[in-house]
Amino acid sequence: MNPPPLHNFLVVGAILFTLGTIGFLTRRNLIIMFLCAEMMLQGVAVNLVAFARHRGNLQGQSFTLFIITVAACEAGIALALFLTLFRNRHSLDISLWQDLREPDQEPNVDEEPLPTPEPQKPLPQLTPAGHEPTQRQETSHV
């Protein structure tokens, strides 16, 4: 019975790390960028735990605990920052903050228009059919 070798776990860690990098570079929603950074940390954690298993000592697992601690701190601070940023610009788009770029950088302008959302179809209405039943006037015979 052979366990999956170290190499396989390292490859999975590398793939998670790179997917996180790509997401962090391309996505513009602050929250998705943050999740991508967390995914990079997960890739590193998989790596460390695999090495701990391979070498038969617990240093890798201890490091992973510290990674989790730092990720928790980061999450708390990041959420507070996102709330402040959202309050200022009323959007989570990071490109709204591009005045913070280097002085010699060109601003990033979106040229392609966003697709207009399809107008909501009005709810179907039943065509009136038949005739309105006449209602007998209720009279009381008291």
Partner 1 sequence: MFNLIEALAAFLRQNWRIVLPLLAGMAAIYLLLPRPRRYSALLGSVAGAAALILAGLLLVRTGSVTVDTVLFYAFSGIAVLAGGLLITQRNPAYAALSFALVVLSSCGLFLLQAAPFLMAATIIIYAGAILVTFLFVLMLAQTEGPDDANDRSREPLLATVSGFVLLGILLLVLNMTYDTSRIDKFLVRARLASQKDAPEEIDRALANGERLWDDSADEGPEEDRSNGERFLIAFSKELSRVRGIEETARFRDELRNDLPNRWVEDRYSADANEGARRLKRLLARVEEQGQRAAQTHGDLAPAPYNPVTKTGVPLSDFSGPAANTPVRRDAAGNAALPAENVAALGRSLFTDYLLAVELAGTLLLVATIGAVAIAYRGERNA
Tell me whether residue 75 or residue 137 sits nearer to partner 1 (CB atom). Answer: 75
**Binder among 34, 121, 123, 141 for partner 1 (CB under 8 A):** 34
- Contacts of residues 41-47 at CB distance under 8 Å and 24 or more positions apart, as own/partner, are 41/67, 41/71, 42/16, 43/12, 43/13, 43/14, 43/15, 43/16, 43/17, 43/18, 44/13, 44/17, 45/13, 46/9, 46/12, 46/13, 46/16, 47/9, 47/10, 47/13, 47/14
81 near partner 1, judged by CB under 8 A: yes
Tell me whether residue 113 or residue 128 sits nearer to partner 1 (CB atom). Answer: 113
97 near partner 1, judged by CB under 8 A: no
Is 39 within 8 Å of 67 (Cβ atoms)?
Answer: no
**Binder among 83, 119, 131, 132 for partner 1 (CB under 8 A):** 83
**Binder among 77, 126, 129, 142 for partner 1 (CB under 8 A):** 77
Residues between 99 and 138 that touch partner 1 (CB under 8 A): 108, 110, 112-117
11 near partner 1, judged by CB under 8 A: yes
